[in-house]
Amino acid sequence: MSEADQTDECEQWTKNGQLTLTNKVEIKDQDRTVIYKSSGWFGLRGKSIVTSGVRTFKIKINKMGGNGHDGIMIGVCNYNHTGVNYTSGNGYMLYSHNGSRYHKGTSINYARTLNINDVVEIRVDMDKKEVSFKVNNKDYGVAYNNLPNQVRLAIDLYYNNDSATIIG
């Protein structure tokens, strides 16, 4: 089985080399759970770079601030992006607030609003340069078909105590 086709090994979060910001985020449970300790957009990415084949990630939303479904974006980003967040254009995201797909500052209706305990599945097909999302096993189809050649799992958090866990 190639690295890009692996679903057995669970992905882990990395702090993007943002050593000056480590007090803003807690990563625990073998680097699979992230808890945000501040406010304003802050992004983390997965450790693995996906370059070919199909890779699936599953994220469980543990807690969201705001009105209970605001403030988390989940998806993929350009593999080498090291900015503070992915809302600026390097991310291909699903936005918890309204279920829209979000890229380069543009929000387009796509799925439903996300809630606490929802499981979001991100399916990356690098052979087709596509990413699609499922929420609690409901497939919303292809969200983007113009991915860069290398991507990583990505999450943006906004509210204090926003939390999510990689479960697959």
Tokens of 143: 């969200």
Tokens of 127: 């052979």
Question: Using H for helix, E for strand and C for coil, what is the string for the chain?
Answer: CCHHHCCCCCCCEECCCCHHHHHHEEEECCCCEEEECCCCCEEEEECCCECCCEEEEEEEEEECCCCCCCCEEEEEEECCCCCCCCCCCCEEEEECCCCCEEECCEEECCCCCCCCCCEEEEEEECCCCEEEEEECCEEEEEEECCCCCCEEEEEEECCCCCEEEECC
In this prediction, residue 2 carries a pLDDT of 38
In this prediction, residue 57 carries a pLDDT of 97
Give the CATH class of 3-166: mainly beta
In this prediction, residue 3 carries a pLDDT of 39
In this prediction, residue 1 carries a pLDDT of 33
Cα(138)–Cα(132) distance, integer angstroms: 11
Which residues lie below 8 Å from residue 103, measured CB to CB, with a gap of 6+?
89, 91, 92, 93, 144
In this prediction, residue 69 carries a pLDDT of 59
In this prediction, residue 4 carries a pLDDT of 39
For the chain (168 residues), the mean pLDDT of every run of 10, in chain order, is 43 60 79 89 87 97 79 90 67 93 91 96 98 98 96 91 93
The full set of domain ranges for the chain reads 3-166
